[in-house]
Amino acid sequence: MRIDYLTIFPEIFSVILNSSILARAREKGAVEYRYYDIRDFISDKHKVVDDKPFGGEAGMVMKVEPLDNALNSILAERENTTILLTDAAGAIFTQEMAKELAEKPNLCFICGRYKGVDERIKELHEIIPVSIGDYVISGGELASLVITEAVVRLLPGVLGDMESASADSFYNGLLSSPVYTRPAEYKGLAVPEQLLSGNHAHIEKWRQEQALKRTRKLRPDLYEKYKSEKKVLR
């Protein structure tokens, strides 16, 4: 997979993409990262990539020309590219979306800034607006990196144990069950007996029950969705 980023702050990407799982994924050849300064794709000699919105609203809007030029440059290299726009008005990013994106050969993020991007870019290119939550941050750089982390860890060979990812929260529609490690007892608090039994069937049953219980308590919205899809009678 190749992932491109269009941004006015390319320096944000260096540290994170060269750390931890994202760096190991690149070293293993599972992914290639490239990030571009949008200012390099504008004909304006002053490299201005934003302007006041028509209609008199406060704030600034990212101009269509440099975004269009940048996307055309990337698509000229790789046509089969899924373009994502970090946008507060986009669909909320989910684990299911992460799994779908992990199947794509190439991704390109437009990192939104200011009040957003000129709407015409969505008419010139097939773009998927996506949001990481119902709140506002200053720009799409961190949002794009959050999505990248969720997607890249699902690529074949990136994690040492893919079974670990399949037990993560949201992977199967539920929160994960509680986890424990040594010591088996600490300040009078003991690890549940089921996890110490060595009986894999009992352990799996306990984990499923705890995942359902935890999801129903902490995320009733997810529980109701899971119940309707899986027909859980609980």
Predicted pLDDT at 234: 47
Per the structure, the count of domains in the chain is 2
* Cα 12 to Cα 42: distance, rounded to the nearest angstrom: 21
Residue that finishes a domain, picked among 100, 117, 152 = 152
Strand partners, 84: 109, 128
* Cα angle value 73/140/53 (rounded, 5°): 80
Q: 65 and 12 in one domain? A: yes
- The pLDDT profile of the chain, 234 residues, written as one tens digit per residue, is 999 999 999 999 999 999 999 999 999 999 999 999 999 999 888 999 999 999 988 999 999 999 999 999 999 999 899 999 999 999 999 999 999 999 999 999 999 999 999 999 999 999 999 999 999 999 999 999 999 999 999 999 999 765 555 556 576 788 989 999 999 999 999 999 999 999 999 999 999 999 999 999 999 999 999 988 875 544
User: Residue 120 sits in a domain of what CATH number?
Assistant: 3.40.1280.10
Say if residues 135 and 129 touch (Cβ distance below 8 Å): no
Q: 197 and 129 in one domain? A: no
Residue that finishes a domain, picked among 117, 152, 187 = 152
